Amino acid sequence: MTEKFEPVIVGFTCNWCSYRAADAAGTARMKYAPNVRLIRLMCSGRLDPSFVIKAFATGADGVMISGCHPGDCHYISQNYKALRRYLLLRRTLAGFGIEPGRVKLVWASAAEGLKLTEEINAFVEEVRALGPLNWPKWDGAAEVFESELAPHIATEVPA
């Protein structure tokens, strides 16, 4: 039998809720699928949709975005903005011919380690079912991003 497809998933987590939920899951030794690699943001509102595109272009098969429950945002209401962007992003991706199912928005509070692991496991299976993302694999992709970003880097205002 052929070995089953192991999707690569990038997860963007809010520093206040879901990243702590991941810590909680760890402390409680809850086992879950190793396919997700987390990147910490201060808030789901920080998520620039281009991060998701970048992740796909660089080889991710799925992207998970997690934030505080509606109404519980550490920054009052930014998770709603994340929600709006997420919905728009899904449509855009569909336009690109990418299954919207490859992006998932999850609410998980700091207390919800179990929920987070369940969501991760579920999402891994969903992406596994979709199969590998056949994004045009062209070596230049990264460089283009670099060059587009060059101006940013050049004019970065030091804090």
Partner 1 sequence: MSDEKKTPKEKIGVYVCHCGTNISAVVDVEGVRDWVQKNMAGDGVVIARDYKFMCSSLGQELIEKDIKELGLTRVVVAACSPHLHEKTFRTAAENAGLNPYLTELVSIREQISWVHTDKAVATAKAKSLVAGTVKRVVNNEALEKLKVPINANTLVVGGGIAGIQAALEIANGGFHVYLVEREPSLGGHMAQFDKTFPTLDCSACILTPRMVEAGTHPNITVLTWSEVTNVSGYIGNFSVTIKKKSRCVNEELCTGCGICIEKCPKKVIDDTFEAGLGYRKVIYTPFAQAVPNFPVLDQPNCTYFEKGTCKACEKFCPTNAIDFTQQDQILNVEVGNIILATGYDLFDASRMTNYGYGRLANVYSSLEFERMSNSSGPTNGHIVLRDGKTKPETVGIIHCVGSRDKNFNNHCSAICCMQSLKFAHLVKEHTGATVYEFYIDMRTPAKSYDEFYQRIIDEGTVFVRGKVAEISDIPRIPDEEGKLIIQVEDTLVGKQRRIPVDMVILSNGLEPRADAKQVGKLFGISCSSDGWYIERHPKLDPVTTMTEGILIAGCASGPKDIPASVSQGAAAAARVMDKILQKEVELEPVRATIDEDKCSGCRICNNMCPFSAILYIEDKGVTRVNPALCQGCGTCIAACPAGAISGTGFSDEQILAQIDGILMAV
Query: Per rule CB under 8 A, is residue 64 in the interface with partner 1?
Result: no
Tokens of 27: 């402390």
Contact 45, 14 (CB under 8 A): no
**Residues in binding contact with partner 1, number by CB under 8 A:** 60
Query: Per rule CB under 8 A, is residue 105 in the interface with partner 1?
Result: no
Tell me the window of 43-51, 87-95, 97-105, 126-134 that interacts with partner 1 (CB under 8 A).
Answer: 43-51
* Sequence-ordered list of residues with C-beta below 8 angstroms from that of 62, at least 6 positions apart, any chain: 7, 8, 9, 10, 102, 103, 104, 123, 124, 126, 127, 130, 133
Query: Per rule CB under 8 A, is residue 46 in the interface with partner 1?
Result: yes
For 152, other C-beta atoms within 10 Å of its C-beta total 8
Query: Per rule CB under 8 A, is residue 91 in the interface with partner 1?
Result: no
Match 């070596």 to its residue by tokens. 139
Query: Per rule CB under 8 A, is residue 95 in the interface with partner 1?
Result: no
**CA pair distance 107, 67, nearest whole angstrom:** 5
Query: Per rule CB under 8 A, is residue 4 in the interface with partner 1?
Result: no
Binding residues for partner 1 (CB under 8 A): 8, 10, 16, 19-20, 22-23, 25-27, 29-32, 34, 37-43, 45-49, 51, 54-55, 58-60, 68-69, 71-72, 74-78, 81-82, 85, 109-111, 117, 139, 142, 145, 149, 152-153, 155-159
